[in-house]
């Protein structure tokens, strides 16, 4: 097979694995993004996520991860589901959509196992590295380069077919493939997400300050949440969907996920009393396989205390 036929074959195989989006780009150093990421870190927008800083060189240079890399494969997996309970109990904590089903890291890793076999069948000597979220890669940048979508002003990648409710997997491979073209930015004059963010975390078009982001504080922050953000979390205790919920592209598309692991056994909210009397062991047992384990019991309870102020305000 020549590289054109090979790319066509691989694209189909990846779709057959259940991914909704796939695209290919040239493995190369990210020179423009190096400057942007450096600036972002120098301004302290990463908050306490110092692991981004530590892996900086790898993030902007795929050859430091895989010297033989020729191509990047970007895949997207839709996780959108229509909410089953739109109304919210006053004291319930909201969980963002991406954590309703099974932990996406595990779901995508399962598909990657099969993809690895496919790549080795194509080229038995090929070298391949697979990442979803936790890798030292700029997943969104590669997804944009591979033509999966464009970077929205809220800094999530948006696809014209499924909106922004998708996870991104990034594969570095030594296999030579044909590359896709990026698509144009379709945000235009819109700034609905920027205006809707309750904490003002999107400080400029395409620029997010994690120090102000509800998603950062409810999931990644292991310390105190700043006093000035109190009352602004709109009941979120794990992640935040507001900037994506208001995006016209997501309103228009609303394509439900085909992934059973996401659609079954969903948790859209929990009440504090569901957590209060659990031991760490019970908590791990109760939420086995779910993404919310990442926040830890202690931090979820802290997040409940934090949103209480909003509930008190809404009763007035």
**Residue 152, interface with ligand SF4 (CB under 6 A)?**
yes
* Residues with Cβ within 8 Å of residue 153, at least 6 apart in sequence: 187, 190, 191, 193, 194, 202, 205, 206
Q: Given candidates 7, 74, 146, 156, which one binds ligand B12 under the rule CB under 6 A?
A: 156
Residue closer to ligand B12 by CB (options 135, 301) is 135
205 is catalytic: no
Edge-to-edge strand ranges of the sheet holding 92-95:
236-238, 92-95, 269-271
Which of 16, 20, 125, 133 is the catalytic position?
A: 133
Grouping H, G, I as helix, E, B as strand and the rest as coil, residue 151 is strand
- Write the interaction track for ligand SF4 spanning residues 230-249; mark x where CB under 6 A is met and - where it is not: ----------x-xx--xxxx
CA torsion sign for 206, 105, 88, 308 is negative
Q: Given candidates 133, 276, 280, 305, which one binds ligand B12 under the rule CB under 6 A?
A: 133
Contact of 265 with 81, CB cutoff 8 Å = no
Contact of 73 with 17, CB cutoff 8 Å = no
Alpha-carbon torsion angle 59, 61, 62, 67, nearest 10: -140
Choose among ligand SF4, ligand B12, none what residue 249 binds, the Cβ cut-off being 5 to 8 Å by kind: ligand SF4
Q: What is the CB neighbour count within 10 angstroms for residue 186?
A: 13
Q: Given candidates 36, 41, 49, 190, which one binds ligand SF4 under the rule CB under 6 A?
A: 190
- Write the interaction track for ligand B12 spanning residues 58-97; mark x where CB under 6 A is met and - where it is not: --------------------------------------x-
**Residue 192, interface with ligand SF4 (CB under 6 A)?**
yes
Contact of 306 with 225, CB cutoff 8 Å = yes
CA pair distance 16, 87, nearest whole angstrom: 36
Q: What is the CB neighbour count within 10 angstroms for residue 248?
A: 13
Residue closer to ligand SF4 by CB (options 27, 168) is 168
Please work out the total of residues on this chain that contact ligand B12, with binding judged by CB under 6 A: 36
Question: Which tokens is 27 given?
Answer: 């493995």
Question: Which tokens is 248 given?
Answer: 């016209």
Question: Which tokens is 96 given?
Answer: 């963002």
Question: Which tokens is 299 given?
Answer: 């931090």
Choose among ligand SF4, ligand B12, none what residue 168 binds, the Cβ cut-off being 5 to 8 Å by kind: ligand B12
CA pair distance 220, 240, nearest whole angstrom: 12
CA pair distance 25, 70, nearest whole angstrom: 9
Q: Given candidates 7, 78, 159, 215, which one binds ligand SF4 under the rule CB under 6 A?
A: 215
**Residue 93, interface with ligand SF4 (CB under 6 A)?**
no
* Contact positions with ligand B12 (CB under 6 A) in 196-255: 206-208, 210, 213, 215-216, 220, 239-241, 243
Residue closer to ligand B12 by CB (options 3, 61) is 61
- Kindly state the smallest distance separating residue 265's Cβ from ligand B12, in Å: 19
**Catalytic sites, residue numbers:** 133
Binding site for ligand SF4 (CB under 6 A): 152-154, 187, 190-193, 197, 199, 201-202, 208, 213-215, 240, 242-243, 246-249
Binding site for ligand B12 (CB under 6 A): 33, 36-37, 40, 49, 96, 98, 132-133, 135, 137-141, 151, 154-157, 164, 166-168, 206-208, 210, 213, 215-216, 220, 239-241, 243
């Amino acid at each position: 097979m020549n590289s054109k036929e090979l790319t066509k074959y691989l694209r189909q195989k990846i779709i057959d694995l259940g991914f909704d989006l796939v695209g290919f780009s040239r493995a190369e150093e990210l020179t423009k993004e190096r400057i942007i990421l450096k600036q972002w870190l120098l301004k302290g927008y990463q908050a306490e996520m110092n692991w981004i800083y530590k892996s900086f060189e790898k993030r902007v240079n795929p050859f430091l991860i895989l010297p033989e890399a020729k191509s990047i494969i970007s895949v997207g997996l839709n996780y959108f589901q229509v909410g089953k309970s739109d109304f919210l109990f006053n004291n319930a904590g909201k969980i963002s959509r991406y954590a309703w089903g099974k932990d996406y890291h595990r779901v995508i890793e399962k598909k990657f196992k099969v993809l690895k076999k496919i790549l080795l069948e194509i080229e038995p000597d090929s070298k391949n590295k697979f990442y979803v979220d936790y890798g030292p890669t700029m997943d969104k940048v590669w997804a944009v380069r591979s033509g999966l979508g464009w970077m929205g002003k809220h800094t999530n990648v948006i696809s014209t077919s499924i909106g922004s409710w998708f996870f991104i997997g990034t594969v570095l491979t030594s296999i030579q493939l044909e590359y896709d073209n990026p698509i144009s930015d379709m945000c235009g004059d819109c700034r609905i997400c920027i205006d809707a963010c309750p904490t003002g975390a999107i400080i400029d078009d395409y620029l997010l300050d994690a120090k102000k982001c509800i998603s950062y504080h409810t999931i990644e922050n292991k310390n105190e949440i700043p006093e000035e953000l109190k009352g602004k979390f709109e009941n979120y205790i794990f992640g935040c969907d507001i900037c994506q919920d208001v995006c016209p592209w997501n309103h228009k598309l609303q394509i439900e996920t085909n992934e059973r692991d996401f659609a079954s056994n969903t948790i859209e909210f929990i009440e504090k009393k569901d957590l209060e009397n659990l031991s760490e062991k019970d908590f791990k047992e109760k939420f086995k396989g779910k993404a919310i384990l990442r926040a830890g019991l202690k931090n979820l309870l802290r997040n409940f205390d934090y949103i209480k102020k909003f509930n008190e305000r809404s009763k007035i």
